[in-house]
């Protein structure tokens, strides 16, 4: 039985005189074999030996459960890919969310949460507003020892949301906004599109930052149904003995030309800098704000001190590394009832090595048998989904789990891989789908990068190879800079490598004899 690959394996060895006549002594014969290097040549055959097929499955779980577990993982991951679909009210408590809840346990938050496309901005936005009140979000995160002498309770007010929300998610946003407004005696507008129109009308005019600051305060007030000057909202809230945290997401929908449009940059700069500063100066701190923003939008609009700003808000940045990605995978698998023998309370305390070992029942130690020369599963997945800036996004990780689980159902219909839920071929075959989906999502929000991607797609097939030389693809230096900034490519002399998470979706092939996924990822981390 050869499992998913039934083609015979042919291994050619060199003629070796010493093997023509073997000694009658087993020890001497073994030494002859070892010195001939034939053992090394036959090493790939070890992958097809039984190798304790059931060792990763608990003895009380029959093989028949493999399909149902794969289906469960597919279904759970599918619900978690898009926050826009509002399919789950559960979330993994990451370090950034723990910092957000802990650092604002004695006062309401006034902060900016920075994250790349797919890092979980809208997901976090939805989870915060689902709680309706700031203290309930803190409690879910697990913040304890709150000073009861300090009133840090506050209503959550979603002001701007992503255009990509489906009807169910939109209703949640509208209901929470209405609930907040009612608590202070107001009625929000039925159609919140008026608010977005008011913002867009602003950058048709020539407004300076102070005017934009006041306009943003008006936006918050109008969203809750208050007429008049937005500057009066904090006083009104205080008179009603309440506190409110305004939450903003979906700025990329309103400011699609942020990279070149000066008026849009001014509007964004006022929101990200001036509004928080003004709110912090108000007595009683009755009105707080959480602004979710992409890093490229922040750096384009706050050019002079964007580094300082990112440093200030670094504790809340939605950024994933090797350890947190594995923790996310374990958390999703646990929600799908995959038997990882996890103690949920201890998940946060597990290090990368412990998480890697814990995930063996999910995807095995390697993308093959344990004794094969295949890549180790966890490092391979992380490297394949990471760009050349070392960034990996939660949405891509969860998407891979969903697609690989679905493919595993059909690829392993004979249950050859009894020691894991996700089979090697399914994981590898999922990467192209993940790459295409990621590119499509980026193109919806990043018009400059979309234009460069279209240029790459239009190249003839013989030019779409990684690595490539600049003269072979006709991109401008600005195009190359944009690709570098977004982690799509990395330079090695006069050659440019395309990261795996983009290469497959753009239809680029890998030149023969070039470094593989893990090797390229390691070289990118070391800056080549």
Strand runs labelled E in 243-356: 244-248, 287-293
- pLDDT class of 6 with cuts at 50, 70, 90: very low
232 Cβ contact list (under 8 Å, min separation 6): 221, 226
The residue with tokens 């459960």 is: 65
Segment 86-137, tens digit of pLDDT: 667 788 889 999 999 999 988 999 999 999 888 889 999 999 999 999 999 9
Separation between Cα atoms, residue 96 and residue 4, nearest integer Å: 42
pLDDT at 381 over 60: yes
- pLDDT class of 159 with cuts at 50, 70, 90: very high
Kindly give the residue spans of alpha helices, DSSP state H, lying in 184-256.
193-202, 209-223, 233-239, 251-254
Q: 135: closest CA among 223, 283, 284, 242? A: 242
* pTM of the predicted model as reported, rounded to 2 decimal places: 0.82
> Who has greater pLDDT, 211 or 20?
211
Segment 448-490, tens digit of pLDDT: 899 999 999 999 988 899 999 988 888 999 999 999 989 999 9
Q: Which residues pair with residue 498 across a beta bridge?
A: 489
- pLDDT class of 191 with cuts at 50, 70, 90: confident
Mean pLDDT of 368-388: 92
Q: Which of 44-58, 143-157, 204-218, 331-345 has the lowest mean pLDDT?
A: 44-58
- CA 218 to each of CA 15, 130, 185, 230, 255: distance values in angstroms, whole numbers, following the listed order: 84, 24, 17, 4, 18
pLDDT for position 472: 86
The answer to whether the peptide bond before residue 252 is cis (omega within 30 degrees of 0) is no
Q: Is 396 helix (H, G, I), strand (E, B) or coil?
A: helix
Domains identified in the chain and CATH numbers: 42-91+320-438 (no CATH), 95-316 (3.40.50), 446-528 (1.10.10)
């Amino acid at each position: 039985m050869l499992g998913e690959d039934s083609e015979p394996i042919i291994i050619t060895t060199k003629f070796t005189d010493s093997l023509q006549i073997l000694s009658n002594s087993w020890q001497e014969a073994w030494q002859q074999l070892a010195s001939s290097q034939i053992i090394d040549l036959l090493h790939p055959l070890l992958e097809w030996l039984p190798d304790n097929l059931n060792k990763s499955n608990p003895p009380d779980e029959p093989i028949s459960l493999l399909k149902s577990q794969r289906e469960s993982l597919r279904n759970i991951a599918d619900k978690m890919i898009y926050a826009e679909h509002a399919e789950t009210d559960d979330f993994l408590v990451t370090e950034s969310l723990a910092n957000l809840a802990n650092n604002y346990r004695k006062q309401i938050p006034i902060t900016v949460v920075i994250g790349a496309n797919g890092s979980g901005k809208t997901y976090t936005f939805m989870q915060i507003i689902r709680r309706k009140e700031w203290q309930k979000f803190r409690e879910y995160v697990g913040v304890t020892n709150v000073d009861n002498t300090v009133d840090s309770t506050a209503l959550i007010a979603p002001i701007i949301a992503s255009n990509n929300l489906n009807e169910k998610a939109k209703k949640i946003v509208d209901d929470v906004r209405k609930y907040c407004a009612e608590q202070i005696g107001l009625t929000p507008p039925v159609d919140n599109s008026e608010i977005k129109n008011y913002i867009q009308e602003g950058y048709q005019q020539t407004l300076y930052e102070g005017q934009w600051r006041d306009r943003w305060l008006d936006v918050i007030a109008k969203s809750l149904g208050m007429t008049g000057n937005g500057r009066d909202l904090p006083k009104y809230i205080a008179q009603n003995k309440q506190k409110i945290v305004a939450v903003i997401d979906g700025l990329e929908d309103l400011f699609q030309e942020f990279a070149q449009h000066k008026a849009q940059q001014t509007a964004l700069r006022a929101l990200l800098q001036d509004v928080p500063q003004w709110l912090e100066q108000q007595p009683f701190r009755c009105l707080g704000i959480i602004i979710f923003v992409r890093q490229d939008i922040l750096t384009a609009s706050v050019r002079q001190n964007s580094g300082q700003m990112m440093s200030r808000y670094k504790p809340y940045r939605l950024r994933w590394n090797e350890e947190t990605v594995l923790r996310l995978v374990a958390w999703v698998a646990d929600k799908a009832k995959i038997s990882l023998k996890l103690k949920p309370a201890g998940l946060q305390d597990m290090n990368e090595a412990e998480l890697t070992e814990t995930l063996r029942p999910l995807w095995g130690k390697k993308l093959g048998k344990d004794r094969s020369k295949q890549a180790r599963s966890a490092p391979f997945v992380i490297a394949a989904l990471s760009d050349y800036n070392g960034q990996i996004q939660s949405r891509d990780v969860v998407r891979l789990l969903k697609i690989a689980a679905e493919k595993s159902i059909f690829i392993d219909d004979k249950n050859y891989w009894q020691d894991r839920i996700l089979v090697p071929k399914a994981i590898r075959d999922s990467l192209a789908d993940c790459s295409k989906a990621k590119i499509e999502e980026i193109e919806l929000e990043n018009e400059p990068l979309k234009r460069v991607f279209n240029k790459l797609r239009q190249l003839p097939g013989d030019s779409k190879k990684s690595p490539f030389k600049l003269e072979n693809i006709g991109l401008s230096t600005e195009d190359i800079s944009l690709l570098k900034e977004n982690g799509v490519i990395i330079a090695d002399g006069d050659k440019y490598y395309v990261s795996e998470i983009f290469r497959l979706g753009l239809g680029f092939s890998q030149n023969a004899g070039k470094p593989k996924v893990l090797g390229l990822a390691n070289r990118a981390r070391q800056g080549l």
